Structures are given as structure tokens and as C-alpha cells.
């Protein structure tokens, strides 16, 4: 991996920490205060985190010049894929094991962050060079 990609990944991870904070606050509040099922609460939290992450990654991590109409559709396509993977892991990890829902969420977050970084770097925010 190039130094530029490593820097972008670290930025993506830092930005992701902010989005993840929104995700986890939503998850915990819905489970603990409203008594929502952890799978649904996690999915709702994932959406909150994805919105935060889109704007911060657009402006900061990838410094995109793409139109929002293109970048946002691609970003949320990747986010939906991540949400499906996250929801599946949460379902399997909470319904078929005795693991704490937060431990399952931490594992899921770690997996999804790598997948979404590379998809967003290579597809969502890639600038097409005009042909001469």
C-alpha cells in the first residue's frame, strides 16, 4: 500500500470514529432507553453513522470534486452493502451465540471498515481522468 493510501485509510478511520460514535450512541440509546431489538437498533445507528461519514469523507478524506448526485449514490450503495454485512453479523452474533451485542458490534465494525474504505476509494470517490 502506498503512503497516500495509508494516510487516506487513517483519515477514513478517524472520520469513521466520529460516524461510529454516532452509530454506537444511537445503538445504545435505542437498546437501553427504548428497548429496541439490538439488530434493528444497530441498523438505525449504522444509517446515522453513514450520513456523518459521507460528508466528512467527501470533504476531508477524499477531497472529492464529484457531484453529490454521483458520489452520494455510490457511497450509500457501499453503505447499504456494509449495513447488510453488519446486520447479518449482528443477527448471527446475537441470536445464535451468547456474545454481548457490543462485542459483536465491535467485530462487525472492524470488518466493515476495511471493506468500505477500499470500495469508497476505488469506486465512490475515484476521479476519472479525462482522456486527451
Domain ranges of the chain: 3-124
CA dist 49 and 83 (Å) reads 11
Phi, psi of 26 (to 5 degrees): -60, -50
Question: What global pTM score does this model have?
Answer: 0.72
Question: How confident is the model over 65-96, as pLDDT tens digits?
Answer: 999 999 999 999 998 999 899 999 999 999 99
DSSP-derived 3-state class of residue 28? helix
What is the chain's Cα-based Rg? 16
pLDDT digits (tens, 9 = 90+) for 39-65: 899 989 988 998 999 999 999 999 999
Amino acid at each position: 500500500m502506498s503512503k497516500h493510501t495509508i494516510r487516506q485509510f487513517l483519515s477514513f478511520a478517524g472520520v469513521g470514529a466520529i460516524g461510529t460514535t454516532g452509530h454506537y450512541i444511537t445503538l445504545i440509546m435505542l437498546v437501553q432507553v427504548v428497548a429496541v431489538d439490538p439488530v434493528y437498533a444497530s441498523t438505525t445507528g449504522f444509517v446515522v453513522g453513514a450520513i456523518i461519514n459521507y460528508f466528512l469523507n467527501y470533504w476531508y478524506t477524499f477531497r472529492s470534486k464529484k457531484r453529490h448526485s454521483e458520489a452520494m449514490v455510490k457511497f450509500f450503495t457501499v453503505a447499504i452493502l456494509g449495513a447488510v454485512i453488519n446486520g447479518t453479523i449482528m443477527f448471527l452474533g446475537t441470536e445464535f451465540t451468547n456474545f454481548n451485542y457490543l462485542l459483536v458490534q465491535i467485530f462487525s465494525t472492524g470488518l466493515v471498515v476495511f471493506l468500505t474504505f477500499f470500495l469508497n476509494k476505488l469506486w465512490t470517490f475515484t476521479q476519472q481522468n479525462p482522456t486527451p
